[in-house]
Chains A and B, each alone.
Chain A
Amino acid sequence: MPVSFIPTPQELLRFSPEILLSVVATALMLAEAVMKPGSRTKLAATAFAALAAAIALSAAAAADSGPAFSNLLVVDGFSTFFRILVCAAGMLVVLISSNYLKREGHESGEYYALVLFSIAGQCLMASANELIMLFIGLECSSIATYVLAGYLRDDRRNNEAALKYFLLGSFAAAFFLYGISWLWGAAGTTYLTEIRRLLLDPSAGINATVVSAAAALLLVGLAFKVSAAPFQMWAPDVYQGAPAPVAAFLSVGPKAAAFAMFLRILMTVFAPVGAKWEPVLWTVALATMIIGNFAALWQTNVKRLLAYSSIAHAGYVTVALTAMSDAGAAAAMFYLAAYALMNIGAFAVVTHVAGQGERHVELADLAGLSRRSPAMAAILSVFLLSLTGVPLTAGFFGKFYIFKAALDADLVWLAVLGLLNSAVAAYYYLRIIVVMYMHEPSQGLPELPAAAPGIRWALAASAAGTFVLGVAPSLVLDYAVASAPLLR
């Protein structure tokens, strides 16, 4: 344990992505005050550049991996993977947001500052190696997203989303914190690796019952953050009410980081008591898939439909977690990367088609999109096919590796039920494609303007990523496989 309170340069390098993001976020917040109203596009460009630089710094930090700040943080392949994933997702979200905010007349530095702060929190969640640090990272990410969900303050849908998300989220965070205090009571430490060592050591005399109770409390908090059943109720209301780019962000960034936390806690601390977790995770995974997929069948609002689909996808990732193996962890990591690309892409199209004030977010508003804007219809179809899991898209290999990991872990029934669920999911994804291509456009819809450059770039990048991962999954998978065993 270092006694000096001056961090070494090495520690600072390992923490540099978070430092950079926080500094730029603060600068954006202040720059707002001295900027002319016309030059606000620079804010988005700065946020974009900061995220790109954070990716570079994460890669630089990975070259010199190891623990930092008296083991509170650890830079390993796993944390680097998730740092880069959330920063890349953030870049796509910034691209979508810029034009959206201009359209709604609300472009300001605070929005980008909140996005950057939230991503800094998510980077911390990915790299923290200690429960208090994880919790603080989680709160940084959450509080920023509560505000983002209600960013368009004059829109009542936004108010509802923010309030529901805030109240339920704080409640779930309290459970998580309570679980930490139980673990501390049982083990006398909050370091993940230390708790694992004590649990594996029979002479340490850790009470397994108390640890299991703590695990249950932690599970409540984690399941809420990844919107897994039975704590998924908030997701549809929040995604529907929040501004479309924020919904895209919520379904990808905080969720990926929460899964990173989930994986790290599961694979380090609770691996020794894994047999007790398995039935619980099994049930959660199945319930999440069923609730997400079946509820999505009846939705008429596209954002709400995507919210339920996002719940179902959290269920697939939980299947990978249930496997509790390195292959499962790698499959979950790959799936989250694939999901980030295709889901942000789908939300980008929704953002564009919704029009000013998000008036056109019903499924009926997509009718005849193939004639109104053939390119948009085609590209949305690509993302929907990928979400379904059609071969040649990223979604196919994502599901393939998850169910393979489940089969390798002898979870045959869970894999079978998961596959059946994907078949159900195909119905509502394909229904959107049918509506776009076969239905007549309804009367009185305004002409769709040409997509803004930001949206176009975001769509191009996510579509390209979806195809690349669908053809050459090993680009990401090899890295995930190599870094999953490092968790311990």
Chain B
Amino acid sequence: MDVVLFLVFAAIAVGCALNLVLQTHPISSALSLIGVMGSLAVLYLLLGGEFLAAVQLIVYAGAIMVLFVFVIMLLNAGSEKRPSKKVLRTAVALPLLFTLAGVAAYIMATQVPRTEAVRFGGFTAGPYEVGRALFTTWLLPFEVTSILILIAILGAVVLARKEI
């Protein structure tokens, strides 16, 4: 059952991710992204991270996606115009991409023992554990991430405001 669910949602995640890149209209891409986020949430749930799954849905699929869609609507962004097909670029990039994916898959398949690679429900990551880790051991990254977000906001202000 676990394996079937994993295969189904992993396939959905990969399919949506591909669709996200291939679509020309921003709204279609945004909707594919919801698919990716949603299926990732299911994968977290399968591993036993029910808190992470819920957060993934609420924060990413909920808040961030709504923001994306709002921005796309406010900008009234139309379909993206494809630049003229660069055959050479595609001929170099695609084989390289498949090589990277192939090598990564090969290493995973041959080197990592299968019984240990995926342990369904293998760890507990409830709100208590996450909160405790976040505010004790990982306090510093947590705080510095807020600085990081502040920098991003400042950057947006600098690049977007009318007069400098």
A residues at B contact (CB < 8 Å): 1-5, 7, 15, 18, 22, 26, 29, 69-70, 72-73, 105-106, 108, 110-111, 113-114, 117, 120-121, 124, 132-133, 136-137, 139-140, 143-144, 146-147, 150-151, 153, 162, 185, 207, 209-210, 213
Contacts and interface: CB of A to CB of B under 8 A. Distances in A.
Given A15-B140, A69-B139, A111-B158, 9 more contacts: A7-B139, A69-B140, A70-B136, A140-B147, A147-B158, A150-B159, A210-B112, A213-B104, A213-B107
Interface stretch (B31-39, B72-80, B81-89, B149-157): B149-157
A106 B164 CA distance: 6
A127 B154 CA distance: 25
A114 B154 CA distance: 8
Nearest to A132: B141
B137 interface: yes
B155 A114 contact: yes
B159 A147 contact: yes
Contacts of A185: 112
A110 B157 contact: yes
For B110, B136, B154, which residue has the most chain A Cβ atoms within 10 angstroms? B154
A141 to B, nearest CB: 9
Contact of B155 (A7, A69, A147, A209): A147
14 contacts: A3-B136, A4-B136, A5-B135, A5-B136, A70-B137, A111-B158, A114-B151, A117-B147, A121-B151, A132-B138, A133-B144, A143-B148, A147-B154, A185-B112
B111 interface: yes
B12 to A, nearest CB: 21
Nearest to A71: B137
Contacts of B115: none
A120 B143 CA distance: 13
Interface of B: 103-104, 107, 110-112, 135-141, 144-145, 147-148, 150-152, 154-155, 157-159, 164
A70 B140 CA distance: 9
Contact of A133 (B140, B150, B158): B140
A101 B144 CA distance: 29
Contact of B152 (A4, A106, A113, A143): A143
A137 B145 CA distance: 9
B84 to A, nearest CB: 20
A364 B76 CA distance: 46
B148 A136 contact: yes
Given A3-B136, A106-B164, A139-B148, A113 B141 contact: no
Nearest 6 Cβ contacts at the A-B interface? A147-B155, A69-B140, A5-B135, A110-B158, A70-B137, A209-B111
Contact of B136 (A2, A73, A106): A2
A210 B164 contact: no
A190 to B, nearest CB: 10
Contact of A114 (B110, B111, B158): B158
A133 B141 contact: yes
Given A108-B164, A110-B158, A153-B159, A117 B151 contact: yes
Nearest to B134: A5
B140 A73 contact: yes
Contacts of B150: 26, 117
A147 B135 CA distance: 31
Q: Chain B interface mostly helix, strand, loop or mixed?
A: helix
Contacts of B147: 22, 117, 120, 140
A249 B155 CA distance: 17
For B103, B107, B138, B148, which residue has the most chain A Cβ atoms within 10 angstroms? B148
A241 to B, nearest CB: 15
B115 to A, nearest CB: 14
For B104, B144, B152, which residue has the most chain A Cβ atoms within 10 angstroms? B144
B19 to A, nearest CB: 19
B145 A136 contact: yes
A2 to B, nearest CB: 7
B112 A207 contact: yes
A117 B157 CA distance: 15
Contacts of B159: 147, 150, 153, 162
Nearest to A106: B164
A8 to B, nearest CB: 12
Nearest to A118: B151
Nearest to B108: A210
A144 B155 contact: yes
Contacts of B164: 105-106, 108, 153
A119 to B, nearest CB: 12
B134 to A, nearest CB: 9
A207 B158 contact: no
B154 A113 contact: yes
B133 to A, nearest CB: 10
A139 B141 CA distance: 12
Contacts of A5: 135-136, 139
Contacts of A136: 141, 144-145, 148
Contacts of A213: 103-104, 107
Contacts of A114: 151, 154-155, 158
For B103, B135, B138, B140, which residue has the most chain A Cβ atoms within 10 angstroms? B140
A207 B138 CA distance: 27
B109 to A, nearest CB: 12
B138 to A, nearest CB: 8
Contacts of B154: 29, 110, 113-114, 117, 147
Contacts of A22: 147
Contacts of B138: 72, 132
A113 B140 CA distance: 21
Contacts of A73: 140
Nearest to B107: A213
A143 B110 CA distance: 38
A1 B137 contact: yes
Given A69-B139, A72-B141, A133-B141, A143 B155 contact: yes
A143 B155 CA distance: 8
A2 B139 CA distance: 11
